[in-house]
A and B are shown apart, each in its own frame.
Chain A
Amino acid sequence: MARTKFPVEVLTPEGEVFNDEVEMVSTRTATGSIGILANHTPLLAMLDPTELRLYRSESEIVRYAQGEGYLQVADGRALILVEDAIAPGQLDAADLTEKLRAAEDAYARAQDGSEEQRLAARDRRRWEAFQRIAAGA
């Protein structure tokens, strides 16, 4: 049975990547995985890097490698703001390996407990998540 559709917009600093009606949005907030259906209660959530899935229907799924971001549900619409939204096919495994290594180096170099280290950890987490998506794609 087809579910009720609702409008979803995915925005990045480089422009809009998706703006259409979907049945379900699946992503990951700072507290865990989350699925959004139509008529969800108003929400403001912080998103962590993961694979963003937009279900146009049971079988038609649009996927993106999603960086850190935010999800707002209000007035029956979902607005997803993310720093990156890359189609899994566009991910470059070699490039990701290099970025991950750079982040690991930065993490190892940084002083324990410093802001530098904290930021390197966030970079590492993003590239790890993207690498997993690239491997699955």
Chain B
Amino acid sequence: MAQRDVKNRIASVKNIQKITRAMEMVAAARLRRAEQRIEALRPYAGAIRRMTRQAAEAAGNVPALPILAEHESEERVALLLVTADRGLAGAFNSQIIRAGVRTAADYQAAGKQIVYYATGRRGVSSLTFRGTEPEQGFTGFTERPTYANAREIAHCLMAAYVDGKVDRVEVLYNGYISPISQEVRRETLLPLQQATILEAETPEEADRPTGHTALVEYEPEPEEILQRLVPDYVEISIYRALLESTASELGARMTAMRNASDNAGDIITDLTLEMNRARQAEITQEIMEVVGGAEALS
């Protein structure tokens, strides 16, 4: 390669490196905020849990709600794939799609029908491309999901389950472990398990009194309060999945962009070496010519 070509390539790789560096830093800054939002959900979720246990104790049991009831036969399974609106995050989106397709194949082998739901443009477009268009797609918020987004998805899935359009709902998302490590998680959302509702998060919490005494007033009756408290678990589960997925997306993008920047650095080193060699060869050539010319004259 001529010296000038190598020089141009170095310049363009340097520009790419600047972009990937910037993307890495943006992802790192947003990741911190995403982590804080996972933390911010904790006190709310804990308080909902405690209130549910208090109301359940007052009511004597958990009422037989339709979202708790298993359907008699399980024919149609809904899969909610949580992906991102954007790519450039390594295997983040593709590993969810792959896990979803594999899960679907297992269910189909058992003679069940699959209904897809997806969040994130990547998931919606991948499914559509495969000819398995999602029943409903939710897009435009994966960088910063709000509780209202989770509520919309939860209502859509709960309505489908209660109205008998599907007999089981599972969610697949990238669980957040650390900025450099995410894992695909698969959880059953519906039917909701009664054990999940009444289970305490920590052993200490289990020992703590729920706050129910004969003196507590309930408005309306505890059974009625439970009818709304229990579906909140589905909303909270989806919200947590969305938040973890966002943190995972940013973590994955940070890692992917750091690798890209490092690779760009390697390419720049190699190209610089190549350019120096070319320059050296040119100089050597010129000296040879000068020496050759001088010799011819003498």
Contacts and interface: CB of A to CB of B under 8 A. Distances in A.
A70 interface: yes
A14 B37 contact: yes
B148 A84 contact: yes
A43 interface: yes
A74 B229 CA distance: 19
Given A13-B41, A14-B146, A46 B158 contact: no
A83 B235 CA distance: 10
A72 B44 contact: no
Contact of B51 (A16, A44, A83, A116): A44
B43 A42 contact: no
Contacts of B222: 44
Interface in B123-175: 146-148, 150-151, 155, 158-163
A68 B228 contact: yes
Nearest to B236: A13
Given A46-B228, A115-B66, A41 B44 contact: no
A95 B168 CA distance: 34
B139 to A, nearest CB: 16
Interface residues of A, number: 31
A26 interface: no
19 contacts: A11-B43, A13-B41, A13-B147, A13-B150, A13-B236, A15-B40, A16-B40, A31-B220, A42-B216, A44-B216, A44-B218, A46-B220, A72-B47, A81-B51, A83-B235, A111-B163, A114-B159, A115-B161, A116-B163
Contact of B163 (A16, A31, A115): A115
Nearest to B219: A45
Interface residues of B, number: 41
B63 interface: no
Given A12-B44, A15-B37, A43-B216, 8 more contacts: A13-B44, A13-B45, A14-B40, A42-B215, A46-B225, A81-B51, A114-B162, A123-B155
Given A12-B147, A44-B54, A114-B159, A31 B211 contact: no
A93 interface: no
Interface in B210-240: 211, 213, 215-220, 222, 224-225, 228-229, 235-236, 239
A113 B51 CA distance: 29
Interface of B: 37, 40-41, 43-45, 47-48, 51, 54-55, 58, 66, 146-148, 150-151, 155, 158-163, 211, 213, 215-220, 222, 224-225, 228-229, 235-236, 239
**Sorted from nearest, which 5 A-B pairs have the closest CB atoms?**
A115-B162, A15-B40, A116-B159, A45-B219, A13-B147
A30 B148 contact: no
B137 to A, nearest CB: 16
Given A72-B211, A111-B163, A115-B163, A31 B147 contact: no
Interface string A70-106: 1010100001010110000000000000000000000
B37 to A, nearest CB: 7
Given A30-B219, A68-B228, A14 B51 contact: no
A108 to B, nearest CB: 15
A57 B47 CA distance: 28
Contacts of A81: 44, 47-48, 51
B147 A83 contact: yes
Interface string A19-60: 000000000011100100000011111100000000000000
A112 to B, nearest CB: 12
Nearest to B227: A46
Choose among B43, B146, B236, B239 the residue with the greatest number of A CB atoms under 10 Å from its CB.
B43
B222 to A, nearest CB: 7
A42 B51 contact: no
A34 B217 CA distance: 13
Contacts of A68: 228
Contacts of B147: 12-14, 83-84
